Amino acid sequence: MSVMQQLSSPISSSSSAFLSHSSFNSRSKNVSVPAKRIGICKCVAVPQEAQTAYTTKVSRNANMAKLQAGYLFPEIARRKAAHLLKYPDAQVISLGIGDTTEPIPEVITSAMAKRAHELSTLEGYSGYGDEQGEKALRAAICSTFYNGLTVTQDDIFVSDGAKSDISRLQVLFGANVTMAVQDPSYPAYVDSSVIMGQTGQFQKDVQKYQRIEYMKCTPENGFFPDLSTVPRTDIIFFCSPNNPTGAAATREQLTQLVKFAKQNGSIIVYDSAYAMYTSEDNPRSIYEIPGAKEVAIETSSFSKYAGFTGVRLGWTVVPKILLFSDGFPVAKDFNRIVCTSFNGASNIAQAGGLACLSPEGLKAMRDVVGFYKENTNIIVETFDSLGFKVYGGKNAPYVWVHFPGRNSWDVFSEILEKTHVVTTPGSGFGPAGDGFIRVSAFGHRKNVLEACKRFKQLYK
């Protein structure tokens, strides 16, 4: 092979002949090597991302592919993070996700600390507990929240939070049930239904999933659905006081709901996570309504009362007289679900829950709730002064502000961009929430006051 042939031949990164010693003298007068010919000799590495990734033979759960974008609150967190990258020196105030901010009262944390220390002793150590929760805590929940309502402690299942129980209930119901939900409402109801396979595809034109009945709740109907227009479904998710609108159903409205469920043979899943925020004469439990035990499950939580969003402790009530169509008790199947998927709430968290329900703990929780309600009043007064239509606030730690004719995400972006305050777009809770934003009262007082000052500067 001639020298020119050698130079013009393709050379790979593994060509040892090219790198090894050679007798070839590049200074020979008889050889002319154009520089452009040398320029074509290059080592080319295949980019890592261009390589074909290994895949298993396991199919993805098709129901997961139905979910739209990210879950609402992680999406808000993502946008907040992007905003901080854009404005690294901004003092961002979060009034979006409903996370508590005030310290857990000392009477409660001291009980948890005591229980934690006991675990380091032979006498005080305990391992697995009852999956349904410690008997003392179940009894305390029963006497505190259901006194006189014929709910027994054996109807109560202590858990790691209402959100977890919502998913366990969906597992209990299975894929073949139909479901109705308030519109707008807490997005976990819909997303868990989608994951379980209870729905059809998402319809972008109406922003709804097929086979879910969206019960429209707006200012025009007092945030309570017109049940005469709602077709029968197996399960009805209902939250009161409502997240996000802050509306609390009246006794008459809940009586209608229980009657509607009985007529249709439906089961109500009643979310009472904000019951302690109720100021008016509205029921704090669905079981205040006659006949509700035959058609309703109730779930609740310590999260927004005692600052337990990170501690994780809640409960669900499944009455023994609640029966499936074949007469089998719902509670027995739920107990099997709990025993299969759960080893019981943390014993330290349960010690905290028991302390919450002591006389001192109840007073401390009421003080915490009262603090957030004062924040709510400040937010309501701010938007009222700016001429906005404002809903909620009286019975829940959320303020529902109307921006007629505007896209909720656009309003969210405008507020974040111009005031560095994080809110929640109403459309994230359902199509009827578009045109609204939710402002959370969970925040330090100085931050709430500063946020309201910025709102006034933006919308004055």
CA distance 92 to 94: 7
CA angle 453, 456, 457 (to 5 degrees): 90
Q: Does 370 lie in the same domain as 451? A: yes
Query: Angle of helix 135-145 relative to helix 347-356, nearest 10 degrees?
Result: 30
Please give the torsion angle defined by the CA atoms of residues 170, 174, 175 and 176, in that order, rounded to the nearest 10 degrees: -120
Burial grade of 100 (CB within 10 A; 0-12, 13-18, 19 or more): buried
Q: Does 259 lie in the same domain as 114? A: yes
Peptide bond into 225 cis (omega under 30): no
- Give 72's pLDDT tier (boundaries 50, 70, 90): confident
Look at the block and give the residue holding tokens 């050889």.
31
Overall average pLDDT of the 186-190 stretch: 96
Q: Which of 361, 379, 407 is the last residue of a domain?
A: 361
Q: Does 115 lie in the same domain as 98? A: no
Q: Does 124 lie in the same domain as 85? A: no
Domains in the chain, number: 3
Query: Does the residue 61 lie in any domain?
Result: no
Q: Which of 361, 393, 416 is the last residue of a domain?
A: 361
Overall average pLDDT of the 55-73 stretch: 90
CA 317 to centroid of chain Cα atoms:
21
Query: Does the residue 386 lie in any domain?
Result: yes
Mind listing the pLDDT tens digit for each residue in 204-261?
999 999 999 999 999 999 999 999 999 999 999 999 999 999 999 999 999 999 999 9
Overall average pLDDT of the 424-449 stretch: 97
Q: Residue 48: what pLDDT? A: 58
CA distance 389 to 47: 56
CA angle 423, 312, 80 (to 5 degrees): 25
Q: Residue 119: what pLDDT? A: 98
Quote the DSSP letter at residue 450: H
Q: Residue 24: what pLDDT? A: 37
- Give 47's pLDDT tier (boundaries 50, 70, 90): low
Mean per-residue pLDDT of the chain = 91
Mind listing the pLDDT tens digit for each residue in 356-409?
999 999 999 999 999 999 999 999 999 999 999 999 999 999 999 999 999 999
Q: Residue 46: what pLDDT? A: 53
Quote the DSSP letter at residue 445: H
Q: Mind giving me the DSSP string for 249-282?
A: --HHHHHHHHHHHHHHT-EEEEE-TTGGG--SS-
Q: Residue 38: what pLDDT? A: 46
- Give 4's pLDDT tier (boundaries 50, 70, 90): very low
- Give 42's pLDDT tier (boundaries 50, 70, 90): low
> Residue 95: is its pLDDT beyond 70?
yes
Query: Does the residue 239 lie in any domain?
Result: yes
What pTM value is reported for the model?
0.87
Mind listing the pLDDT tens digit for each residue in 260-273?
999 999 999 999 99
Query: Does the residue 59 lie in any domain?
Result: no
- The range of the structural domain enclosing residue 396 comes to 70-102+364-459
CATH number at residue 132: 3.40.640.10
- H or E, element range at 195: helix 187-196
Q: Does 329 lie in the same domain as 377? A: no
Q: Does 226 lie in the same domain as 116? A: yes
Quote the DSSP letter at residue 406: S
Q: Which of 361, 393, 417 is the last residue of a domain?
A: 361
CA angle 213, 217, 223 (to 5 degrees): 145
Query: Does the residue 193 lie in any domain?
Result: yes
Query: Does the residue 194 lie in any domain?
Result: yes
Q: Does 153 lie in the same domain as 18? A: no
Which tokens go with 430? 């359902």
Whether the Cβ atoms of residue 334 and residue 172 lie closer than 8 Å to each other: yes
Q: Does 417 lie in the same domain as 296? A: no
Q: Does 376 lie in the same domain as 299? A: no
CATH number at residue 84: 3.90.1150.10
> Residue 2: is its pLDDT beyond 70?
no
Whether the Cβ atoms of residue 384 and residue 392 lie closer than 8 Å to each other: no
Q: Mind giving me the DSSP string for 62-83?
A: HHHHHS-SS-HHHHHHHHHHHH
Query: Does the residue 131 lie in any domain?
Result: yes
Whether the Cβ atoms of residue 244 and residue 361 lie closer than 8 Å to each other: no
Q: Does 373 lie in the same domain as 356? A: no
CA distance 170 to 165: 8
Q: Mind giving me the DSSP string for 281-338?
A: S--SSGGGSTTGGGTEEEEEESHHHHTTTTT--EEEE--TT-B-TTS-BHHHHHHHHH
Mind listing the pLDDT tens digit for each residue in 286-342?
999 999 999 999 999 999 999 999 999 999 999 999 999 999 999 999 999 999 999
CA distance 436 to 74: 19
**Percent of the chain whose predicted confidence (pLDDT) is above 70:** 89
CA distance 382 to 449: 10
Q: Residue 50: what pLDDT? A: 60
Lowest mean pLDDT among 3-7, 122-126, 162-166, 350-354: 3-7
> Residue 29: is its pLDDT beyond 60?
no
Query: Does the residue 60 lie in any domain?
Result: no
Q: Please list, in sequence order, all residues whose beta carbon lies within 8 angstroms of the beta carbon of residue 254, skipping any fewer than 6 positions away.
A: 240, 283, 286, 288, 289, 292
Q: Does 242 lie in the same domain as 172? A: yes
> Residue 158: is its pLDDT beyond 60?
yes
Overall average pLDDT of the 184-207 stretch: 96
Q: Does 36 lie in the same domain as 18? A: yes
